[in-house]
A and B are shown apart, each in its own frame.
Chain A
Amino acid sequence: MSTDETGPGGAQTPEIAGNPGGTGPDLLQLITPSGERISHPEFDFWVRDITDDQLCSLFEDMTVIRRIDVEATALQRQGELALWPPLLGQEAAQIGSGRALRADDFVFSSYRENGVAYCRGVDLTDLLRVWRGNASGGWDPYGINMATPQIIIGAQTLHATGYAMGIQNDGADAVAVTYFGDGATSEGDVNEAMVFAASFQAPVVFFCTNNHWAISEPVRLQSHIQLADRATGFGIPNLRVDGNDVLAVMAATRLALDRARRGGGPTFIEAVSYRMGPHTTADDPTRYRDANELEDWAAKDPISRLAGLLDRKGILTADLQEQVKAKADAVASEMRRGCTTMPEPQPMDVFKHVYSTPNSWLERQQDHYARYLASFGDPAGAVSEKGAR
């Protein structure tokens, strides 16, 4: 391998053919970046029931999740959370799809879908348990029909497909929905999930949020074609939607859910959006990302876009804005309170839930560790780096 950019025989490496990050005319859009509602012959149908009130409520949802995202980022900076993966910029993708789901649908997501969790009705204290380092899982998945966030990239797509196969066996009309990123589409798991979903025509929706970056890697490193087109190769119909347009996302998700409920099998949705913040609070995007790119995307901000539409309709009143802000503040301060007053885990909790039935090896270790802790006057001394003796 040579150290320059030329390929075999000295030829220039060919330009990447497709534009997997592009936002061209093929992108399903119902609201333009300036907030104009544009009609679409096929997709208007799927949001025909959305009243002005409901638009306001979507606006509230998006504002609330942005607010809790900002609050959680602040909590991390203040040392209350160990880490936080911001969703800034992805509000429309999460609310548009999350609000399209039925209570008996089941979500398998990555770590970034906190807005979807909000739609499922997650207790926000539960949402933070994992990020504070107080628990391995924040909630009972069956309580809100949403699996706990997945960190292993793409693994959840297989779980969703299997869950969907179960729904199918049961003769139910619920749907499994799985969320993942653009980078995830490179993992074997995601590709295998699509094979299974297509083979068994499982009622599963693959919701890929193309936020353009997988930590430092741009989407063009993962794919030479648009991500939505990958699904075609597996025999899965795809929809490519403007992920910053809450109505378009909702329409696409509703179509896909309807198809799945009626036995039409899987659908792949690519929601084209942008990660406006860092990958996580531990990441430094200035090392790899051009500031101009961020500016371009800021102009397509999902919340201002919906605000633009509400404004054109004459319903973005000062009252509404005040009300939405108050709600967002209230939710955020409740979350902060829940975070800072969360009880600390107890040392012996480390042994809980490893098995559903007792295991003699572990019981022995547990007994020994309890004796060990008891040998210290102050158990905190037992774990100090310097030692207590």
Chain B
Amino acid sequence: MTQLTFARAINAGLRKSLENDSKVVLLGEDIGALGGVFRVTDGLQKDFGTHRVVDTPLAESAIVGTAVGLAYRGYRPVVEIQFDGFIYPAFDQIVSQVAKLHYRTRGAVRMPITIRVPFGGGIGSPEHHSESPEAYFTHTSGLRVVTVANPQDAYTVIQQAIGCDDPVLYFEPKRRYHDKGEVDESVDPRSALPMDKARVLTDGSDVTLVAYGPLVKTALDAASAAADEGISIEVIDLRSLSPVDYEPVVASVRKTGRLVVTHEAAQSGGLGAEVAASITERCFYHLEAAPVRVTGFDIPYPYSKLEMHHLPGLDRILDGVDRALGRPNSLSGLEG
């Protein structure tokens, strides 16, 4: 076991994948000498060469589009998109090509492409640097979308994503890049919890709190604050956003009768809506209250001085928990 930051853990996972499979190639802007703007690929080009760790020209559509060609040729490209807001120039290649080629070729062509995207806010960046675009991709069939919430998962899941024969969007919670955690580098990704499984992090009886990526830490903090008030919260880290692993959520809600979902992305059309609807379908008779969403607002990501208003914090999550429990809350007395 070693203490690693998120960023180092992903770096270690990439290194393992490069070592284990000569077909793994990394592509992206500034990923070579600079080691990426977040240093996630630090040292990899030096050790694996410029043909395996490719510093590309500044062109996202080309980065993903050439990854498609490499995949046709039997490679397993791992693409770095520098920041969430810069994935859109590549959007067409991702949703029209990467996502659909397996289906379109009736399974003849595999697209084992991993697209790494630092996502989310909270680091005081200018516009286009703090977005949560996951719903665009969970809405697209043929893609797998995962995110990680601790360094161990960061290390293991990146390897699982690279090993997966389907295209995977791997969202990295950038405000947690410097957080440290225990990482067991001897874990075999093939026997670890698969990347498409959710994980129950705390045992609780009053409310089920579903989170993913950067908000898992906030959700855990909220759960311990709630415990001080005598409220028992079961926190679930979704991990896979597409497909969502509903079994543990269903089991939890059957027990607690209450669901709160939180994410940084805007509310309308967001993943929280999907989870709330699916759980309502599956657990209608077990629910004691309507599912509650605690999310970013339906606004463009705001300038940095106000981002903490947009991002769900511990108190907003607790307020949502109060709503689910019917305790006094900021909306008490309001109808609908």
Tell yes or no: A375 within 8 A of B by CB. yes
A142 CA to B29 CA, complexed, in Å: 34
Would you call B299 and A350 a contact (CB within 8 A)? yes
Tell yes or no: B331 within 8 A of A by CB. yes
Least CB separation from A188: chain B residue: B61
Would you call B58 and A183 a contact (CB within 8 A)? yes
Tell yes or no: A389 within 8 A of B by CB. yes
Q: Tell me whether chain B's interface is mostly helix, strand or loop, or mixed.
A: loop
Least CB separation from A222: chain B residue: B57
A374 CA to B89 CA, complexed, in Å: 41
Would you call B315 and A381 a contact (CB within 8 A)? yes
Please classify how large the interface on chain B is, using the bins under 10, 10 to 19, 20 to 34, 35 or more.
35 or more
Interfacial chain A residues near B128, Cβ < 8 Å: 151-152
Would you call B59 and A187 a contact (CB within 8 A)? yes
A344 CA to B303 CA, complexed, in Å: 12
Interfacial chain B residues near A354, Cβ < 8 Å: 298-300
Nearest CB of chain A from residue B268's CB, rounded to whole Å = 6
Residues on A facing B (Cβ under 8 Å): 1-5, 82-83, 111, 130-136, 151-153, 183-184, 186-189, 214-217, 221-222, 282, 287-288, 344-345, 347, 349-351, 354, 359, 361-362, 365-366, 368-369, 371-372, 374-376, 381-389
Interfacial chain A residues near B304, Cβ < 8 Å: 82, 133
19 contacts between A and B (CB under 8 A): A82-B304, A111-B126, A130-B303, A151-B128, A152-B128, A188-B59, A215-B29, A217-B29, A217-B30, A217-B57, A221-B57, A222-B57, A287-B33, A350-B299, A350-B310, A382-B316, A385-B313, A385-B314, A387-B222
Residues on B facing A (Cβ under 8 Å): 22, 25, 29-30, 32-35, 37, 48-52, 55, 57-62, 75, 85-86, 88-89, 124-129, 221-222, 225, 229, 267-268, 297-300, 302-306, 308-310, 313-316, 318-319, 329-331, 334
Would you call B125 and A82 a contact (CB within 8 A)? yes
Q: Choose from B33, B50, B88, B297 the contact partner of A216 (Cβ within 8 Å).
A: B33
Would you call A365 and B297 a contact (CB within 8 A)? yes
Would you call B225 and A350 a contact (CB within 8 A)? no
Do A288 and B297 form a contact, CB below 8 Å, given A2-B49, A133-B303, A221-B55?
no
Nearest CB of chain A from residue B58's CB, rounded to whole Å = 4
**B25, B303, B314 interface centre (most CB from chain A within 10 Å):** B303
Q: Choose from B303, B313, B331 the contact partner of A387 (Cβ within 8 Å).
A: B313
Nearest CB of chain A from residue B82's CB, rounded to whole Å = 9
Interfacial chain A residues near B86, Cβ < 8 Å: 152-153
A179 CA to B32 CA, complexed, in Å: 27
Would you call A151 and B126 a contact (CB within 8 A)? yes
Least CB separation from B217: chain A residue: A385
A188 CA to B318 CA, complexed, in Å: 45
Q: Choose from A136, A216, A381 the contact partner of B127 (Cβ within 8 Å).
A: A136
Would you call A215 and B306 a contact (CB within 8 A)? no
Would you call A215 and B221 a contact (CB within 8 A)? no
Interfacial chain A residues near B330, Cβ < 8 Å: 368, 371-372, 374-375
Do A383 and B309 form a contact, CB below 8 Å, given A5-B50, A362-B299?
yes
Least CB separation from A6: chain B residue: B51
A359 CA to B48 CA, complexed, in Å: 53
Do A345 and B300 form a contact, CB below 8 Å, given A82-B124, A188-B62, A372-B330?
no
Would you call B305 and A133 a contact (CB within 8 A)? yes
Would you call A130 and B126 a contact (CB within 8 A)? yes
A382 CA to B317 CA, complexed, in Å: 11
Would you call A134 and B48 a contact (CB within 8 A)? no
Interfacial chain B residues near A184, Cβ < 8 Å: 58
A133 CA to B52 CA, complexed, in Å: 38
Closest 7 CB pairs of A and B: A133-B304, A3-B49, A216-B34, A387-B314, A186-B57, A183-B58, A1-B51
Do A287 and B34 form a contact, CB below 8 Å, given A382-B315, A383-B313?
yes
Interfacial chain A residues near B318, Cβ < 8 Å: 387, 389
Would you call A350 and B306 a contact (CB within 8 A)? yes
Do A215 and B34 form a contact, CB below 8 Å, given A134-B303, A152-B86, A187-B89?
yes
Interfacial chain B residues near A188, Cβ < 8 Å: 59, 61-62, 89
Q: Choose from B126, B309, B314 the contact partner of A82 (Cβ within 8 Å).
A: B126
A384 CA to B308 CA, complexed, in Å: 8
A132 CA to B124 CA, complexed, in Å: 9
Interfacial chain B residues near A133, Cβ < 8 Å: 124, 126, 303-305
Do A1 and B52 form a contact, CB below 8 Å, given A151-B128, A365-B267?
yes
Interfacial chain B residues near A366, Cβ < 8 Å: 297
Would you call B49 and A387 a contact (CB within 8 A)? no
Would you call B319 and A372 a contact (CB within 8 A)? yes
Interfacial chain B residues near A375, Cβ < 8 Å: 319, 329-330
Q: Contacts A217-B55, A282-B37 known; list 9 others, CB within 8 Å.
A: A2-B51, A130-B127, A130-B303, A151-B85, A215-B37, A350-B302, A383-B308, A383-B309, A387-B225
Interfacial chain A residues near B303, Cβ < 8 Å: 130, 133-136, 345
A163 CA to B128 CA, complexed, in Å: 23
Nearest CB of chain B from residue A218's CB, rounded to whole Å = 10
Nearest CB of chain A from residue B34's CB, rounded to whole Å = 4
Interfacial chain A residues near B308, Cβ < 8 Å: 383
Interfacial chain B residues near A187, Cβ < 8 Å: 58-60, 89
Interfacial chain A residues near B48, Cβ < 8 Å: 3
Interfacial chain A residues near B62, Cβ < 8 Å: 186, 188
Least CB separation from B24: chain A residue: A1
Least CB separation from A382: chain B residue: B315
Interfacial chain B residues near A111, Cβ < 8 Å: 126
Interfacial chain A residues near B75, Cβ < 8 Å: 1
Least CB separation from B128: chain A residue: A151
Would you call B300 and A369 a contact (CB within 8 A)? no
Least CB separation from B33: chain A residue: A288
Least CB separation from B48: chain A residue: A3
Nearest CB of chain B from residue A277's CB, rounded to whole Å = 16
Would you call B297 and A351 a contact (CB within 8 A)? yes
Least CB separation from A365: chain B residue: B297
Nearest CB of chain B from residue A53's CB, rounded to whole Å = 39
Do A3 and B57 form a contact, CB below 8 Å, given A82-B304, A384-B313?
no
A351 CA to B298 CA, complexed, in Å: 9
Interfacial chain A residues near B25, Cβ < 8 Å: 1
Nearest CB of chain A from residue B21's CB, rounded to whole Å = 12
